[in-house]
Chain A
C-alpha cells in the first residue's frame, strides 16, 4: 500500500518559487492500477517522482507498506528503490548496452552472478516478447520494443510497485494498446501495484481501477474509474472524458434551444448510461413495447468498456402525452441504469446531415 500524506513540493524556480504540489493525499491499495491524470504542468511527474524519492517532497510523508520513505538514509533508500520499478516516456535505456544487458543492469548493480542473471533475464525477455532481440542494441528497436525492454528492466529486481510516467505517450495508438495490455498482464500475474501517469483518458479507461485528476498541484477529483467516468464532478474531469465520449446529437437536434418544460412539437432528450451486465439488457426494447403511445427515437448509442466492465451510453428522444412520457421514464428508472434529462428540444428541418 502506498500512502501519500500532505505532499507538498516547491521548486526554487528562476523567477521565484514554483509550488508544483500543494498538499496531495492519496492512498493506493496493493495490487491495484492507479491512474493519475492531469494537464501539462499539473504536477503529475513531480508526484510520481516523489513516490521513489527522485524528488524529495518539501512537506508530507510517502509511506510504502508502513515505511516512511522520506525518513530513509541514502543507502536505505537505494535498497528501497529496488522494490519500485519505473518506466519512462522516453524509455531511458542504456544505448551502449544490448537488450540483454539493459535488463541485466539492475541485477549487476546488486552484484548477482552471471548464471543467476541469465536465469532471470531470459524469462523476462520472454514475458515481454523480446527473446529474439536479446543481443540487439536499443537503436535497432521500435519505440514499442524499447518500452518492452524498459518494462523488463523495471521488473528485473522483482519490485512490488511499478511506476509509469507517461509510458505510452511517445507511442502510436496500436503500440499503446499492446503496452497497456502488457502492463495489465503483469499487474495480474505478479500482483504488482501499478501507478500510471498520463494525460490521456483512454489510458485510464483501458487499464486503471482508480483514478485521481490532478490540477494545479492539487487533486481535483478521485475515485474508481467507473464512478468518475459515469458521474464526473469537476469541469476538468468532464473535459477529459468528453474527449472520449462523442455525445453529438444528430443535426436535426443540434443547436436548437433546450428548454426545461415541454414545448409543443419538442422531444424530451434523455441520456442513459448502462454499466456492467445491464449494458446487455434489452431495456429500450422493453420500454418501447410497454409504452407504444410514446414515440421513441434513438439519437446516439455506444457500447464501450471501462477496464473490462461493459459500459453503454445512449441518447433517446421521446415525444407524446406528458403522462405517457412519465410512465416511460418511470419504467427506465426501475431498471439498473443511470438517467440524465437533457431537456426538451425541437426537431429542426435540415438538408443533409453533415455530422
Chain B
C-alpha cells in the first residue's frame, strides 16, 4: 500500500460527502413540500385538487423511471445552463438533485399516508386550517417515518454520486474508476470499497437512531 492512498481517499471522501450533503439538502427542501402536495391534493384529502395531483404524479413518475446514468447525460444542457459547466463536483450535483426530488416526494407521501385519518379529522374538527394540519399534524406525526425514508434516499445518493463521479464529478466513484480500474491500483479500489461500506453503515446507523428518537408511537 503506497502512502498516497490516504490523501487520495480523504479528498475523494470529502467530495462525496459534499455532493451528497448539498444535493440532499436542496432535494429535501423541494421534495418534502412536493410529497405533501402529492398526498394532500389526492381524492378526499384536505387540499383535494385532482388535476394538479395528476400532473404532479405524472412528472414524479416520469423522472423516477429514468435510470440515473441516462438522466445524468440527458440533462447535461440543463446542468450547463444552471452551473455554467457540465463537469466537476458542482455539476454532478444537478442530476443528483433532480433524481432525488421525486424519490423524496414519493417517500414523504408514503410516510404521510400512514398518519391515521382520524387524527387529521380530529384536527379538522378543532377548526385547523389545511396548512395547520400539514404543519402541526401530518409532518410531526410522520417525522419518524420520514427520517427513516430520508436515510434510504441518502444511501442511494451515495451510490448515485459514485456514478456521477465516473463522468468527472470527483468523489469516491471517480477515484475508483481512475485509479482502481484505469491504473490497476487494486489497493485504491479496495480502500474505496471499504470506505463506501463504512459510510453507508454510518448513515444507516445514524438514520435508525434519529428515527427511533422521533418515534413516540
Q: Footprint of B on A, CB under 8 Å?
A: 52, 54, 77-82, 84, 86, 88, 90, 92-97, 105-106, 108-109, 137-139, 153, 157, 163
15 extra interchain contacts, Cβ-Cβ under 8 A, other than A79-B127, A81-B124, A108-B136? A81-B126, A81-B127, A86-B122, A86-B125, A86-B126, A88-B121, A88-B122, A93-B122, A94-B119, A94-B140, A96-B141, A97-B140, A105-B126, A157-B126, A163-B125
Name the distance in Å between B216's Cβ and chain A's nearest Cβ: 4
- Residue pair A105, B136 in contact (C-beta under 8 Å): yes
The answer to whether A95 and B141 have CB atoms under 8 Å apart is yes
Distance in angstroms from A333 CB to nearest chain B CB is 51
Complex contact A90–B140 (CB within 8 A): no
Residue from A86, A92, A106 having most chain B Cβ neighbours under 10 A: A92
- Min Cβ gap B143→A in Å is 6
Measured between beta carbons, the chain A residues less than 8 angstroms from B61 are none
**Contact B216–A81 (Cβ < 8 Å):** no
B191 to chain A, nearest CB (A): 42
- Tell me, yes or no, whether B183 is within 8 Å of chain A by CB: no
Verify A109–B128 contact, CB threshold 8 A.
yes
Chain B residues numbered 80-113 whose CB sits less than 8 Å from any CB in chain A: none
Residues of A within 8 A of B143 (CB): 96
Chain B residues whose CB sits within 8 angstroms of the CB of A109 once the complex forms: 123, 126-128, 132, 136
Q: Is the interface of B mostly helix, strand, loop or mixed?
A: helix
The chain B residues found within 8 Å of chain A, CB to CB, are: 116, 118-119, 121-129, 132, 136-137, 140-141, 143-144, 214, 216-217
A80 to B116, CA, bound (A): 24
* Identity of the chain A residue whose Cβ is nearest the Cβ of B214 in the assembled complex: A96
Shortest CB–CB separation between residue B145 and chain A, in angstroms? Answer: 11
Cβ of B217: which chain A residues have Cβ within 8 Å of it?
A: 95-96, 139
* Closest chain A residue to B139, Cβ basis: A96
Check A92–B119 contact: CB distance below 8 A. Answer: yes
How many residue pairs at the A-B interface have CB separations less than 8 Å? 69
Question: Are A81 and B140 in contact (CB-based, < 8 A)?
Answer: no
A79 contacts which chain B residues (CB < 8 A)?
Answer: 127
CA of A138 to CA of B119, assembled, Å: 13
Q: Which residues of B contact A108 (CB under 8 A)?
A: 136
- Give the chain B neighbours of A138 by CB distance below 8 A: 216
| Residues of chain B contacted by A93 (CB below 8 angstroms) | 119, 122
CA distance A92 to B126 in the complex (A): 12
5 tightest CB-CB pairs across the interface, nearest first?
A81-B127, A92-B122, A92-B118, A78-B127, A137-B216
Closest A residue by C-beta to B140: A96
**B187 CB, nearest partner CB in chain A, Å:** 48
- Tell which of A90, A95, A97, A106 touches B126, judged by Cβ atoms closer than 8 Å: A106
Residues of chain A with a CB closer than 8 A to B116's CB: 90, 92
Bound-complex Cα distance A93 to B123 (A): 9
Q: Across the interface, do B137 and A94 meet the contact criterion of CB distance under 8 Å? A: yes
B-side contacts of A94, CB under 8 Å: 119, 137, 140-141
| CA of A90 to CA of B5, assembled, Å | 60
Q: Is the CB of B118 within 8 A of A90?
A: yes
Q: Name 7 interchain pairs, CB-CB below 8 A, sorted by A.
A: A78-B129, A79-B127, A81-B124, A82-B126, A88-B121, A92-B122, A137-B216
Residues of B within 8 A of A78 (CB): 127-129
Q: Which B residues lie within 8 Å of A54 (CB)?
A: 121, 124-125
Residue from the list A52, A97, A137, A139 in contact with B125, Cβ < 8 A: A52
